[in-house]
Amino acid sequence: MISNEYALEQIDWTTIYRIWSERLWPNRPNIKPYTPMINATEYDMNIHKRAKDNWMYHNGVFWGIRYLPQNKIIGVNSGHQCNNKLFRSRGLFVYKDHTRKGLAQILLQATIDFAREKDFEKIWSYPRDKAIPTYKAVGYEVGKPHEHEAYKTADGVWISRWNAYAELML
Ligand SMILES: CC(C)(COP(=O)(O)OP(=O)(O)OC[C@H]1O[C@@H](n2cnc3c(N)ncnc32)[C@H](O)[C@@H]1OP(=O)(O)O)[C@@H](O)C(=O)NCCC(=O)NCCS
């Protein structure tokens, strides 16, 4: 329990998927609980197979913050294994009415704590420029934001975003 109003809990894929697809990545096709990225520019396609086999934590672990007065999840983050040493933090979102209370930092910290407990060596993420202060506040070293084509919508339109590589040694 974070306070009388908020509680942190692990949530399931269906719950986080709904929030990701409706609010964080609207119109993004084919949202999965993981990606094959191992940093901002490199991929390991073996991640697809290991996630499909549901091997260890490749297929994602999901956290939510419940707003107790309405019994509703109002913030989420996830993590997934990239390989034996590397864990990725992904998909941070806090509903606007509940921002500026430190809840995003609590979600990031839960993901860091999990990766540390499971003996991963490093956690990385790819935050949007606006979220960089939140990542720095929990100890991530964050590089310079750069523009990139994040995904193509079903209508064939490329969505570009400003993100920065961020990592933290565990
Ligand atoms: C970016 C986002 C996750 C930030 O959520 P948040 O919960 O407000 O983030 P934080 O926990 O870091 O808190 C943010 C601010 O509140 C302040 N704060 C933290 N705890 C506080 C508290 N208890 N009381 C008052 N203010 C507090 C922080 O100091 C910070 O202030 P600053 O911006 O002036 O430095 C949220 O706005 C969001 O989901 N945006 C849309 C999607 C998105 O961009 N996701 C990130 C993808 S990487």
- Alpha-carbon distance of 124 to 17, in angstroms, equals 21
Tell whether ligand 1 has an atom less than 6 A from the beta carbon of residue 92: yes
What DSSP line would sit under 91-108, residue for residue?
Answer: EEEE-GGG-SSSHHHHHH
Atom 11 (ligand 1) nearest CA: 102
pLDDT of residue 154: 83
What confidence tens digit (pLDDT) does each residue in 42-93 have? 999 999 998 888 889 999 999 999 999 999 999 999 999 999 999 999 999 9
Tell whether ligand 1 has an atom less than 6 A from the beta carbon of residue 145: no
Domains with residue ranges and CATH for the chain: 6-169 (3.40.630.30)
pLDDT of residue 61: 98
Kindly report the backbone phi and psi dihedral angles of residue 163, in degrees, each rounded to the nearest multiple of 5, phi listed first: -130, 165
- Alpha-carbon distance of 140 to 124, in angstroms, equals 8
Q: Which atom of ligand 1 is nearest to the CA of 99?
A: 8
Inter-CA distances, 151 with 12, 19, 72, Å: 24, 18, 29
What confidence tens digit (pLDDT) does each residue in 141-157 have? 999 999 988 888 888 88
The continuous run of DSSP H or E covering 42 comes out as: none
Which range, of 86-90, 94-98, 126-130, 154-158, averages the lowest pLDDT? 154-158
Task: Examine the pLDDT at 133 and tell me if it is beyond 90.
Answer: yes
What confidence tens digit (pLDDT) does each residue in 18-38 have? 999 999 998 888 899 999 999
Tell whether ligand 1 has an atom less than 6 A from the beta carbon of residue 137: yes
- Alpha-carbon distance of 119 to 115, in angstroms, equals 6
